[in-house]
Amino acid sequence: SKLPHEKVVSDLQVNSENLINYLRQDILILGGVMLKAQEINWSKYQIDVEDVMTITSLSLKIFRKLYFDDNAFHINIPTRNQDTFIRRGYYGGHVDVYKPHGENLYYYDVNSLYPYIMKSYPMPSGDPVWKNNLESVELDSLFGFIEAYVVTRLFGYMFEKKSSPFEGFISDLYESRLEAKKRGDEPMTFIYKILMNSLYGRFDKLNDDYYIVNYISNSQIVDDTEWKAPKHSAVQLSAAITACARIHMYPHISREDCYYTDTDSIVLGSPLSDDLVSSKEWVSLN
């Protein structure tokens, strides 16, 4: 249905004072929330939220300041070729419907799937090494990003396989989230959750140096050969985290009674065993 424009304008004029007072209160409440968030982040991390533009920037600052050790885990900034190749293997989770109908089904989702992967799985470290002719190499001995047909290895970049540098970062945020939950602090529960889930995506960040070319009158040839590596881009980490998450979910989505999956959730025809189900454990589903 169409909105009567004249009535909307008239109502705005009649209620303008009430609306302005409502908006003023809304701004004051939001300002109070931001000041409280600023106070909490400063007392906990000595980081001022005014210095960051997004929650992902805040997550990265916390990780770099308190947890990251370049000597223990070197994060390579990929070259243009490396970035392009690895980015081809960077996907999200499975979203599939295997059986469109069912009754008395069981729905589960994984507790903090990406943070759990970041905490528990090995991650690609060091400078990547290009390898050709991987057909004769055992698949289990490879750690990197490989182009392949079925299980035939062709070529790809190999990385050093090291324990995750995110373990302390994720563990502390997860514990902080549980504590916030216990005391009924819903805003901080949400913020800790977002901080845990935001960091991995920050590493796939592309260069921010955009420019506009007038394609009608500009007849100059644009030199696109210079590659400016994004300052915080390490797509191998983002790609590894999402790939390990898919591997982690595979035993569940490959079940014959799996009806549906969406990244970190499954719908099954029969219940999971009790040892796999918990509302608190990292690995469990709920």
- 126-181, pLDDT tens digit by residue? 999 999 989 888 888 999 999 988 767 889 999 999 999 999 999 999 999 999 99
Segment 226-238 mean pLDDT: 79
Instruction: Determine what percent of the chain is predicted with pLDDT higher than 70.
Output: 87
Q: pLDDT of 254-278, one tens digit each?
A: 999 999 999 999 999 999 988 888 7
The whole-angstrom separation of Cα 210 and Cα 254 is 42
Is the confidence at residue 242, as pLDDT, over 80? yes
Residues in the chain: 286
Is the confidence at residue 213, as pLDDT, over 60? no
Segment 226-244 mean pLDDT: 84
The reported pLDDT for the residue numbered 214 is 55
The reported pLDDT for the residue numbered 226 is 66
Amino acid type, 138: E
Q: pLDDT of 38-86, one tens digit each?
A: 999 999 999 999 999 999 999 999 999 999 999 999 999 999 899 999 9
| CA separation, residue 184 to residues 75, 179, 278 (Å) | 37, 9, 20
Is the confidence at residue 93, as pLDDT, over 70? yes
What is the helix (H) or strand (E) element at residue 248, kind and residue range?
A: helix 235-253
* b/e sequence 11-31, b meaning 16+ C-beta within 10 Å: eeeeeeeeeeeeeeeeeeeee
